[in-house]
Amino acid sequence: MWTAIAITAIVLLYIIAVYNGLVARRNQVREAWATIDTQLKRRYDLIPNLVETVRGSAQHERETLDAVITARNSAMTMSGPSKADAENRLTQTLKSLFAVAESYPDLKANQNFVELQREITDTEDKIQATRQFYNTVVMGLNTQIEQFPSNLIARMFGVLPEKMFEIADSERTAPQVKF
């Protein structure tokens, strides 16, 4: 009888420990996503100032400016897996905007533009680092969910795998540099 109670207690303690580990990993994923979201908000706040600065120097680049604003607004309203796709589109339009700026010497010399460009570059670096951290904690959670016997406990409590933050196929190709 004592053996059965001891075995039951050990199994119960194991289930509790695995479940608590899954909860901790899930919370790490949520915290990592919140960190990405904070950096994205910073980028959203900088973009209108950058666009206005470029608009003053590059009036006939309206299409590029509108594409950046549209991508920004789209990214701000998305959530879940579609958020990553919207963010990838925004990154692409920002690259286009910086490419346009290269054609305008006055703009490249504008201190506001230079500072905004530096801020956005810094923010992009932080976003990249937080995406990497997010993917690391998602991998840890997903691995634990898939491994036996924790997969049984994850299934029992409805703990589901999370989606990695992946780049778009268009970002996988190297940019062409021509002289």
pLDDT at residue 178 in the model: 41
pLDDT at residue 59 in the model: 62
Going along the chain from its start, the domains and CATH numbers come out as 2-164 (1.20.1440.20)
The pTM score is 0.70
110: enclosing H helix or E strand: none
Contacts of 106 (CB under 8 A, 6+ apart): 57
Helix, strand, coil: what percent of the chain each, to 5?
80, 0, 20
Going from the first residue of the chain to its last (179 residues), give the mean pLDDT of each consecutive group of 10, the final group possibly shorter: 93 95 96 91 86 70 80 84 81 81 70 81 90 95 94 94 77 45
DSSP code, position 147: S
Q: Rounded distance, CA 87 to CA 107, Å?
A: 26
pLDDT at residue 49 in the model: 83
For residues 100-131, b (16+ Cβ closer than 10 Å) or e, as one string?
A: bbeeeeebeebeebeebbebbeebeebbeebb
